[in-house]
Structure 1
Amino acid sequence: MLRTAGRAFVLLLIMTLITGIAYPLVVTGLDQLIFPHQANGSLLYKDGKPVGSALIGQDFTAPGYFHGRPSAAGKTGYDATSSGGSNLGPTNKTLLAEAGQRAAEVRRENGLAANAPVPSDLITASASGLDPDITPAAARIQVARVAKARNLSVAKVQTLVNRYTERRQFGFLGEPRVNVLRLNLALDALTGR
């Protein structure tokens, strides 16, 4: 009995060393070697200082910036430590009222007609509440507002949106998308902000 317990303890130590120490060290080392940008959080920099991650949405509200998806993460939104959706269903009165208010706000701030369609990603939060991307349609309806606020031509801002539109991965996975932080950093670089 004692001999079996001793063998079990030795096996426990060996497996702990392999799975708890060696394997994580090897995987972390390979990640740093092969995918260093992604392994370090996909951080984006401005003037040599990190300003955010390409993987986490931020709250942009100024007229000269593209606005991302609304966030339900945390009490005030965009809280990376409290990722999560609102869990409100499509027939929930609170969700419908919030979506209606957001749609009216998007129309107002972008100079759209009162009955103009608004892309759903500008009025509903994602499941994580931290989605960093919007659809090209959501970016397009903001182009005129951003161009006016930055004293740029609509064509120049639309060209920038086109340049930062990511296509489907491998040509068939996902949907075309625009990373809001990357696009806004490119706008800042363009206008010297």
Structure 2
Amino acid sequence: MLAHLRPAVVMTALFTLVLGLAYPLAITGFAQGLFPAQANGSLVRGADGAVQGSSLIGQPFAEAGYLHPRPSAAGDGYDAAASSGSNLGPLNPDLAARIKTDADAIRADTGASVLPADAVTASGSGLDPDISPAYARLQAARIATARGLTVEEVQSVIDRHTETPLLGFIGQPRVNVLMTNRALDALAG
């Protein structure tokens, strides 16, 4: 029995050291060396060095002078510790009521009759940092009025922060809410 037990214990210890310690340390070192910003969470810092957020994690913006993100089903909204969708099916009356309430509020705010889907639907994680260019443009007039800017100035900031699909065809055009709101703050200040 010891003849069979010894190799099993040795292999368990070896693989624990290699796969549980050496490999994670090597990958962490590789990531820190080649991609330090991404390896540390793509944190966005203000002029004073304070962390304002991450370009990869959505956060709520409710003030009239900012782009508003898409709805979040993560906890009480944009709670990274509770990342998830709502798990409500398309026929669920609670989901239909929430979408109707949100759509009515956006229509009253913008006067639009047709809304982009991301204006009223949450992402799968509930933490999506991006919105569609159509939803961003829909908010331009409200932002311009609140900031005392022209719609063209706000639209120019949105256009500069519109990212294209990867390689031209993977994904959709998108606007990062945090980065665009930072640019709007810089324009005003």
Q: Which TM class, normalised by the smaller chain length?
A: over 0.9
Match of 2:123, as an amino acid? Answer: S
Cα separation, 2, equivalents of 1:86 and 1:67: 19
Partner of 2:102: 102
Residue 4 of structure 1: CA displacement?
Answer: 2.6
- Whole-Å separation in 1 of the counterparts to 2:87 and 2:8: 46
For residue 157 of structure 1, the aligned residue among 137, 154, 158 is 154
1:52 counterpart = 2:49 = no
Deviations 1:100-135 (A, max 9, x none): 11011112223x15xx11111111111111111100
Asked if 1:33 is matched to 2:33, the reply is yes
In structure 2, give the amino acid aligned to 1:123: V
- In structure 2, the partner of 1:67 is 68
Q: Classify the secondary structure of the residue corresponding to 1:117.
A: coil
- Alignment pair present for 1:138 and 2:135: yes
Runs of 4+ in 1 over 3 A off after TM superposition: none
Aligned to 2:13: 13
The two structures have a TM-score, normalised by structure 2, of: 0.96
**Alpha-carbon distance in structure 2 between the residues aligned to 1:3 and 1:129:** 53
SS at 1:52 equivalent: strand
Match of 1:180 in 2: 177
Shift, 1:183, TM fit: 0.5
Instruction: Give the aligned partner of residue 84 of structure 1.
Output: 84
Moved more, 86-95 or 129-138: 86-95
AA partner of residue 52 (structure 1): G
State how far apart, in whole Å, the 2-side matches of 1:146 and 1:45 are.
23
Which letter does structure 1 place at the counterpart of 2:12? L
Superposition deviation, residue 165 in structure 1: 0.4
Aligned equivalents of 1:159, 1:81: Cα separation in 2: 35
Amino acid aligned to 1:53: S
Task: Give the total of aligned pairs.
Answer: 188
TM-score by length of 1: 0.94
- In structure 2, what is the Cα distance between the partners aligned to 1:5 and 1:128? 45
Q: Partner letter of residue 66 of structure 1? A: L
Residues 127-171 of structure 1, C-alpha deviations (whole Å, 9 max, x = no match) = 111111100000000001101111111111101101100000111
Two-structure CA RMSD over aligned residues (Å): 1.1
Separation in 2, partners of 1:61, 1:103 = 15
Could you tell me which runs of 5 or more consecutive residues in structure 1 were left unpaired when the two chains were aligned: none
**Aligned-residue identity in percent:** 54
